[in-house]
Structure 1
Amino acid sequence: MRITKIFTIIMLLVSVAGFAQGGSKKLDKIIKRDYQIIECTISKMSDKTVEYSLPGETLQISLDVSQIARIDFSSGRSQTFDVAAASSPVSSSVSSNPVIANAPMKTNTIAVLPVPYVNSDNLQSSEDMSKFAQNDLYNKLLDKSANILPLTVQDLRTTNSLLHKAGIDHNNIDDTPIEDLERILGVDNIVAAKVSFTMSSSSTATTYNSGNAKISDNDKKLKTNDISTTTANTQMYYYYTVYFDMYKNSTKIYSQTRKPFLNLKDSWIDSVSYLLKRSPIYVKR
């Protein structure tokens, strides 16, 4: 009888241990690139997909490996997925991503890029001034369309729309190769400018005195009634450097740097006009 009880207790302990192990079964962990963690059981892997099922389910779910950063298997082994390889369809090839696919090439067409407008003291870039400068250069080319024949200017909305789809703006335009920009925009000519500046101020004070003087009848002394007014004036000075480049079929055909003679707020506009008129695309007629 005693042996039977001991055997029963042992079997009970084995059953409890087995249940505990089954209830706490270790799961695989998929860590996605958006930092979501999926606890699951992986059943199949290939170069393109990973198939898994969630706890308590038999449904097989397929996940593209481009969305996976790492897998921690229940065995303790980890597998990391190459970020560069997964992102290459987006960044390494313009033509492989439909968002930034090649635009139809328009020969003898020039596009005006966004113009970075940067304060050199704090490296802050102004989006509003960048758009203003781009519009100013675009309008100058339109006004002188007869002087740049046979070139035509691509509509600014078209240029900015294509750049926006490709994730390019005034902040990263300088980091994008010209050959990629030409394919994205579908043009064989590009004008790229940049405005860099520093500021200083100068303050002056002007004092103006007014009043009158009279002699008192009683004591014959001179009495005055003076009024003094001081006016402060602060003048801002802008020190610009304008960088101006032109490209044709990915080759730089013109590159100049100019500092305006005057230190006024809009002096950079004069430098843009000066450089444009001396560029190789401009012909006096």
Structure 2
Amino acid sequence: MKIKKVIAAILMLFVSVFAFAQGGKKLDKIIKKDYTIIECTIAKMSDQTVEYSLPGETLQISLAVSQIARIDFGSGRSQTFDTSSASNAAPSSSGQAVAAAEMKPNTIAVLPVPYVNSDTQQESEDMAKFAQNDMYNKLLDKSANIFPLTVQDLRTTNSLLHKAGIDHTNIDETPVADLEKILGVDNIVAAKISYTMSTSSTASTYGGGSTTISNNDKKVKSSDYSTTTANTQMYYYYNVYFDMYKNTTKIYSQTRKPFLNLKDSWIDSITYLLKRSPIYTKK
């Protein structure tokens, strides 16, 4: 029994040391052709397979090279594999393979909406999601006006984009042909919101002058008084860029500046452009 306990303690110590060593070492990344990312430690590579272990584990897993698009090694080196043989991939307009979803005819997808401060070039992830939801809900509310088109569920759209490594920060860099294949749709609505801000301050002063009154034949001078109220107003200057595509062809493209310079004025521009797009018919 004592020998077994000693052996168990040694094994536990070995596992702990190995886990610690793994934690201090930068992991390798295997990017599969279906856009799955595996963080691991690669032990062996051949023309046919790659053997790796997961963090904290000693078990080695074998993966066929035919399933791999790229490996980013912890050392900083990257190795790209042939993507032409991917069974679930289609050639893109950029020459690389993209995971193609099942095509759903007469379906429109709403892309994430980049929301960018033109002065600082900072992007807001929360506002990008909010703007995408706003367009999606507007199309759903007017589903009768866009018949025979149906709107792809937003969760489906974002899930497919996430698997492809696409979000609001790089959506503009992805060709529309690739987006249609990734999302499995033949219609896309895309928008971008850029803005600048300025402030205006005003101050209002209210007060009274001094007065002299008589008190037992003595003159008494009262104190002056005044009140100042400051007010700061924030102004937003938007440019809303709006595009629609059908079978990779741009069928509508407009840029609009809201009439008002309020924080939510971009919403009015989105509404205006949607109603005047070619997919919208009055009922």
Which amino acid counterpart does residue 221 of structure 2 have in structure 1? K
**Compared CA separation, residues 37 and 200, structure 1 to 2 (3 A):** same
Which amino acid counterpart does residue 131 of structure 2 have in structure 1? A
Matches of 1:50 and 1:173 in 2, distance apart? Answer: 31
Unaligned runs of 5+ in 2: 1-26, 30-39, 52-60, 92-96
Which amino acid counterpart does residue 86 of structure 1 have in structure 2? F
**Compared CA separation, residues 147 and 124, structure 1 to 2 (3 A):** same
Q: Which runs of 4+ in 1 moved over 4 A?
A: 32-38, 45-51, 61-70, 87-91
**Compared CA separation, residues 89 and 264, structure 1 to 2 (3 A):** farther
1:205 to 200, 203, 206: 203
Q: Determine helix, strand or coil for the equivalent of 1:184.
A: helix
Is contact 1:216-1:223 (8 Å) kept?
no
Q: Determine helix, strand or coil for the equivalent of 1:252.
A: strand
Is contact 2:197-2:234 (8 Å) kept?
yes
Superposition RMSD in Å: 3.4
The reply to whether residue 232 of structure 1 matches residue 230 of structure 2 is: yes
1:150 to 138, 143, 148: 148
Is contact 2:71-2:78 (8 Å) kept?
no
Q: Determine helix, strand or coil for the equivalent of 2:262.
A: coil
Is contact 1:116-1:194 (8 Å) kept?
yes
TM-aligned CA deviation for residue 213 of structure 1? 3.7
Matches of 1:225 and 1:203 in 2, distance apart? Answer: 29
Is contact 1:117-1:126 (8 Å) kept?
yes
- The structure with more radius of gyration: 1
Matches of 1:115 and 1:89 in 2, distance apart? Answer: 31
Is contact 2:213-2:221 (8 Å) kept?
yes
- Percent of pairs identical after alignment? 72
Counting only pairs closer than 5 Å after superposition, residues 1-285 of structure 1 correspond to structure 2 as 47-48=47-48, 83=79, 85-86=80-81, 88=83, 94-95=89-90, 101-210=99-208, 213=211, 215-221=213-219, 223-285=221-283
Is contact 2:42-2:50 (8 Å) kept?
no
Which amino acid counterpart does residue 240 of structure 2 have in structure 1? V
Is contact 2:189-2:245 (8 Å) kept?
yes
Is contact 1:94-1:184 (8 Å) kept?
no
**Compared CA separation, residues 229 and 253, structure 1 to 2 (3 A):** same
Matches of 1:181 and 1:193 in 2, distance apart? Answer: 14
Q: Determine helix, strand or coil for the equivalent of 1:125.
A: coil
Q: Determine helix, strand or coil for the equivalent of 1:121.
A: coil
Is contact 1:212-1:225 (8 Å) kept?
yes
TM-score by length of 1: 0.69
Matches of 1:90 and 1:163 in 2, distance apart? Answer: 22
Matches of 2:185 and 2:178 in 1, distance apart? Answer: 11
Is contact 2:205-2:228 (8 Å) kept?
yes
Partner of 1:23: none
Question: How many residues are treated as equivalent by the alignment?
Answer: 226
Q: Determine helix, strand or coil for the equivalent of 1:225.
A: coil
TM-aligned CA deviation for residue 202 of structure 1? 1.0
Matches of 2:129 and 2:83 in 1, distance apart? Answer: 30
Unaligned runs of 5+ in 1: 1-31, 52-60, 71-80
